[in-house]
Amino acid sequence: MKNTTQRVAIVTGANRGLGKEVSRQLAEQGDLVIVTARQLSSAQQTLEELGLDNLLAAQLDITNQESIDQLVKFVEQRFSAVDVLINNAAIHYDTWQNVVNADLNTVQEAMDTNVYGAWRMTQAFLPLLQNSQQARIVNVSSGAGAIKNQTGSTPAYSMSKIALNSLTLMLANQLKSSGILVNAVCPGWVATDMGGSGGRPVEQGASGITWATNLPANGPTGGFFRDGKEIEF
């Protein structure tokens, strides 16, 4: 169970890649981390692999409101507040298509997970986040979501990350008076199942996400960052 000063963090898509590494980094700095995955067994396996005491496993499908509501109940039964929400889960790095020939069903699927999933999670957990003294929401985005980088490739992924960046800015403006900081983070090209081989170490990409959870009360909100430095939307 958490101690009185320990933060409670929720990480979506935490059973592999960036989500798993961010969970490790947060737990190692003392946070109590709720590791979520679509299959509970995957989340439980992640706990075994990380081998840290301050982790909890939970099932979560961010495209399913009932699943999200069940997670809210799971958290409410154990904690009075959530201090960190990391919207990391994402799908469809669609290198096989471009904007001209894109399968719009694929685009819609990407939007449902990458944008609406983060939106659903934020709405559902907002009451618990508002119970925190210094809540932080971090949306894991990508340079593919920067307006200046739009070449027409990876249309599903890129469009979803553009929308996620917009959601970040809107939430930041709406929640500023509550003290909740909301930022988007680009982890860079990272060697994960989605990013493929050749990228930088996952530890390096995850560190920028962890950094955004540790911003002080007077820290930035509504920003887009990579490695702790602001970049253009």
Could you report the per-residue pLDDT of 49-60, keeping only the tens digit for each? 999 999 999 999
Tokens standing for residue 197: 């081989």
pTM of the predicted model as reported, rounded to 2 decimal places: 0.96
Q: Which residue of the set 79, 93, 116, 157 is catalytic?
A: 157
Q: Which CATH architecture has domain 8-230?
A: 3-Layer(aba) Sandwich (3.40)
Residue 189: predicted pLDDT: 84
Instruction: State how far the alpha carbon of 207 is from the alpha carbons of 122, 125, 201, 226, in Å.
Output: 22, 24, 10, 10
Residue 198: predicted pLDDT: 74
Residue 195: predicted pLDDT: 67
Q: Which of 85, 215, 181, 71 is nearest to 140 (CA)?
A: 85
Q: How confident is the model at residue 190 (pLDDT cuts 50, 70, 90)?
A: confident
Q: Which of 156, 161, 157 is nearest to 145 (CA)?
A: 161
Please confirm, yes or no, whether 157 is among the known catalytic residues.
yes
